[in-house]
A and B are shown apart, each in its own frame.
Chain A
């Protein structure tokens, strides 16, 4: 089966930077996704990486290293509204998608 690991919880201060790591072991690789999920709401798409390197989208960036089976999501200039769960999801060689359990980020004033 697929194995996707990410920390359960992280806490950071408003205005700071937080890095959420995701490691994966899957049958082949066809892309990695990050989703944001506010409490009681649906997940929403944040980013997609299929090649090694950094993808930047405003305050959010996502990095991928396929050789290490590793990705991170970087949240800069944290705002209170960034308090949410962040889900890492990996698409394998058969194009099946597996989700990690999610990382709950709490932003404190």
Chain B
């Protein structure tokens, strides 16, 4: 069982560059989430999705975009990278809304 798969694991971006963080899950979960984790801070919700074609903003959505065209995939797009987006990003999924979350292995992103 793969669970939640995130790529890439590490990435360095220059200011103003764009990139997409990929996330896919094979558990047929309707609910998917993107979090960022900064040192000394709790996980902060960026965007979430309750099913294919439905997404909504979380606490810290500025500078990010998402799409959910299939149940399995929930990519996160950074359009114009800024140093404030340096963080560790986690994708997660759950069978029901905010129940036990299954996390991907994370992406460590640095914007320089």
Interface residues of A (CB under 8 A from B): 4, 8, 33, 35, 40-45, 48, 87, 89, 91, 95-102
How long is the Cα–Cα vector from A35 to B40 in the complex, in angstroms? 16
A101 touching B105 in the complex, CB below 8 Å, given contacts A45-B100, A48-B100: no
Interface residues of B (CB under 8 A from A): 40-45, 90, 97-98, 100-106
Q: B98 touching A91 by the CB < 8 A rule?
A: yes
How long is the Cα–Cα vector from A91 to B102 in the complex, in angstroms? 16
Query: Interface majority SS on B: helix, strand, loop or mixed?
Result: loop
Chain A residues whose CB sits within 8 angstroms of the CB of B101 once the complex forms: 33, 35, 43, 45, 97
Q: B100 touching A95 by the CB < 8 A rule?
A: no
Determine the residue in chain B with the shortest Cβ distance to A48.
Answer: B100
Determine the residue in chain A with the shortest Cβ distance to B41.
Answer: A101
How long is the Cα–Cα vector from A4 to B42 in the complex, in angstroms? 9
Q: B42 touching A102 by the CB < 8 A rule?
A: yes
How long is the Cα–Cα vector from A100 to B98 in the complex, in angstroms? 15
The 8 Å CB contact of A41, one of B41, B42, B43, B106, is: B106
Chain B residues whose CB sits within 8 angstroms of the CB of A4 once the complex forms: 42
Q: B98 touching A43 by the CB < 8 A rule?
A: no
